[in-house]
Structure 1
Amino acid sequence: MKNLKRIILNKNKGLKKMKKVMIYAYTEFNLGDDLFIKILCERYPDTQFVLYAPRQYKVLFEKLNNISFFPSDLLFIKANNYILRKFGVTNFFRSLTAKNCDAAVYIGGSLFIQEGNWIKHLENTKSMRIKNKPFFLLGANFGPFTNHEFYSKYKDLFRQFTDICFREKHSHGLFKELNNVRVADDIIFQLKKLPNRQEEKNIVISVIKPSFREDLSNYDDIYYQKMRDIAIYFVERGYRVTFMSFCEFQGDQEAIEKITMLIPKNYLNKISSHFYKTNIDETLEIIANSSFIVATRFHSMILGWIFNKPVFPIVYSKKMTNVMTDVGFNGLYANMNNIGELKPNDVFEGMKTNLIDVSNQIKDAERHFEKLDEYLLK
């Protein structure tokens, strides 16, 4: 009996306490941001992650056993947050949740755009830090911005982080003198590939609502018209077309509805719509089974490359051209600011010219987790 107790004690001495990590992320059911969370949790199965998010995120990540949720959309939570803000207390329940964690990871893409009340966003980022605990910022790009104060205040804040890994060289260059700043290719390149499937004669058009972004407020009509023209052109050449929404909150679904209203009825039997919400696997399968991607969404471009599809980017932000430069993309593409000049035949030609090899990027993207590996896996 004594020997048995000794064996159990010795085994327990060797057991490591599972670390608990707070995740900060964009939680409005955006496919790209949700994939960040998925990749993070799958990489560290022996770490317990905590996410402050709407209740449906529990459905979204029901297959992950190492993430728990604090529901941000409960009426009780929302009411108390509203009252506490009146007294100058913000993010009370989120901070309370984070307090019991060993570290925090802020993971996302376009996290630092100068728009609206950016000071409020800066203060929100400051409040994410857990006192005397490691803080990792992974996967982001910085900007666009027009105010030097915006840049300098974030630079002061970034000095206090444990590790920062940007996803493109331009952002890294802005902060390269900070010794905690690194760069690696986009985290989504780390997505586990799906099994090979039979490729369908189907193109995916990922869309946005341009006017959701202040600088694109006048582009809705011309953009919707061009997406309509592209869809009809491909249908007339024997293809099926799937319009894809990555984020309902940002107006993608509304955009699809307006585009399809412009399409004559005799084409609609060859056109379908797919709305991402909590169906990650289904969405990825549609992309993986397609033959071509017309990509306005940044991560539809990345996913197309991962699944070895030719991609025609429609650039609405410099973050896209920055990454296209980083990966050496020399194919055909269009800019939103001259979308009116885009001809459907130019897009069609992209099927022949726009296939690239991203095997180096898939390998490089793993470096995002170098410092987090040292902390969680040591």
Structure 2
Amino acid sequence: MKCFAYPVFYFEKVWNGPITSGRDEEMKRLMINAYTKLNLGDDLFVKLLCERYPDTNFVLPAMGEYRTCLGSLPNLTIYPIESVWVRGARKLLKSFKSIEVQKLLLQRLARRCDGVVQIGGSVFMQGKNWVRDYNWKQEIFDSNKPYFVMGANFGPYKDEVFYEKHRELFSGYTDICFRDEYSYELFRDLGNVRLAPDIVFQHPKPDTAGGESVVISVIKPSERENLKALDTVYYEKIRDIAVAFILEGYDVSLMSFCEYEGDEEAVRSIYAMIPETFHSRTEMFFYRTNLEDAITLLASSGMIVATRFHAMILGWVFGKPVFPIAYSEKTINVMKDANFEGAYADLKSIASLDPDTVVRSQETNRLNVSVLAAQAEKHFLELDKYLGRSQDAAGVASAMSPGILARRGHES
């Protein structure tokens, strides 16, 4: 026992510090379960959540870089899971696997919070480690405390076991609000499942005029199992689209939303393919922790070519013409739910896309999202009740029917 005593003392020291950022101890304290790989869309989710509830303390286990990205939020405490203290605890508890130490740390943090908000988009995909991730949720989070899920879609998944296990898991949650009708229909009979448009539709529209520039958000297709062989054809097509806009007199920004998922590598590869004579009209933008700079770039553009899902959403919110390049069913599903009738491309068949089609779409590919923005507030309905915050009754009423999303829809 003595040989284990010091590591336990050290472990206690790691996670026994203050987690209220000097805020009132009587305020509710909620742990945020989010995708923390510096992905622009997921980071916006966290920002919008914290800004909505300034009188709630939120705790986010994440990389230390999040202190730069979201450190200005006064009601958010970042618990860096790769801090010196945590690395030290892992060394001292070397008889445990690193992943088990992290689980212990997260269990302790969850116990010190009043509940959990899981906020994110594609957070229920069937990956190779889905059984481990599923067991983690059951072992880390206290089933006697409230657990809210918002902003998510379900899948893609390959077998019924994955689906049935999540039905079992979801049945014990306080509230689940999906962002697409497909996911909602899979679980609507559980009774605690609702539907609302993507949370980022709640993002305010900056007071920024559109410029003579085009933002092209890109991905590295081979990071996704079903797009392994498409890097070259996709990069070449994005190059052709960029050149087509430059020849029309536009400047082009190639934009990375997430370094971890290969976006930056994609940007550099595409930039290298563009003829040097056009490099003076081409910019590379890398989102890392510069959240406001990324929003400004999108808001000040004249058009957005969106492979990234939230480049599409933000483009619509900011009143821009958007040409979506769909790399997954979630994009197709949300376009259908939003009644978007503009031109778009499926990444799997992008070889046949004519760049002139993309250029011409700036005249037709806007979407009125005022109704979607009001409906998106429904994600927060049950959390509002739990935290004692009242929603605008008329706004919520307009969002209550799951089958009616954005009746005003497409603008020509």
Q: TM-score, normalised by structure 2?
A: 0.85
Q: Look up the match of 1:64.
A: 73
Structure 1 residues 18 and 214 mapped into 2: Cα distance closer, same or farther (>3 Å)?
A: same
Structure 2 residue corresponding to 1:342, chosen from 309, 329, 353: 353
> Is residue 207 from structure 1 mapped to residue 218 from structure 2 by the alignment?
yes
Please tell me the residue identity of whatever aligns with 1:271: T
Deviations along 1:253-300, one digit per CA (max 9) or x if unpaired, are: 000000011111000000001111111111111111111110000000
Contact 1:104 1:130 in 2 (8 A): no
Shift of 1:338: 0.5
Deviations 1:197-251, CA, capped at 9 Å, x for gaps: 2321000000000011111110000000001000001001100000100000000
Q: Structure 1 residue 112: deviation in Å?
A: 1.0
Q: From the superposition, tell whether residues 362 and 87 of structure 1 become closer, same or farther in structure 2 (CA, over 3 Å).
A: closer
Alignment check: 8 A CA contact 2:214 2:303 kept = yes
- Indicate the SS of the match to 2:38: coil
Equivalents in 2 of 1:85, 1:245: separation in Å?
Answer: 33
- Tell me the alpha carbon deviations over residues 24-63 of structure 1, each in whole angstroms, 9 at most, x when there is no partner: 1000100000000000000000000001011111111122
Q: 1:142: which partner in 2?
A: 154
| Matched position secondary structure for 2:301 | coil
1:126 aligned residue: 138
Choose which of 86, 95, 102 in structure 1 pairs with 2:114: 102
Q: How many Å separate the matches in 1 of 2:348 and 2:116?
A: 38
Indicate if the aligned counterparts of 1:70 and 1:97 stay in contact, CA closer than 8 A. no
Query: Which residue is equivalent to 1:91?
Result: 103
Counterpart in the other structure of 2:265: 254
SS at match of 2:79: strand
The residue that corresponds to 1:8 in the other structure is none
Match for residue 333 of structure 2?
322
Once the two structures are TM-superposed, the CA of residue 81 in structure 1 deviates from its matched residue by 4.6
Contact conserved, 1:293 with 1:309, CA < 8 A, in 2?
Answer: yes
Separation in 2, partners of 1:353, 1:224: 25
Give the equivalent residue in structure 2 for 1:167: 179
- Flag structure 1 segments of 5+ consecutive residues without an equivalent: 1-14
Pair 87,315 (structure 1): closer, same or farther in 2 beyond 3 Å? closer
Instruction: Sort the Cα spacing of 1:259 and 1:348 in 2 relative to 1 into closer, same or farther, 3 A.
Output: same
Aligned with 2:30 (options 17, 21, 35): 21
Contact 2:180 2:197 (C-alpha < 8 Å) held by counterparts: yes
1:286, 1:153 → 2: CA distance? 41
Offset of residue 79 of structure 1: 5.7
Q: Distance in 2 between matches of 1:320 and 1:128?
A: 31
Task: Please state whether the residue corresponding to 1:133 is helix, strand or coil.
Answer: coil
Over the residues paired in the alignment, what is the CA RMSD in angstroms?
Answer: 1.6
Identity of aligned residues (%): 45
Match of 2:190 in 1: 178
In structure 2, relative to structure 1, the CA distance for the partners of 1:86 and 1:354 (3 Å cut) is closer
> Structure 2: 5+ residue runs without aligned partners?
1-23, 390-412
Aligned to 2:304: 293
Relative to structure 1, is the Cα distance of residues 334 and 87 closer, same or farther in structure 2, using a 3 angstrom cutoff? closer
Q: Does 1:369 align with 2:409?
A: no
Shift of the 375–340 alpha-carbon distance from structure 1 to 2, 3 Å rule, reads: same
Q: For residues 249 and 206 of structure 1, what CA distance do their matches in structure 2 show?
A: 15
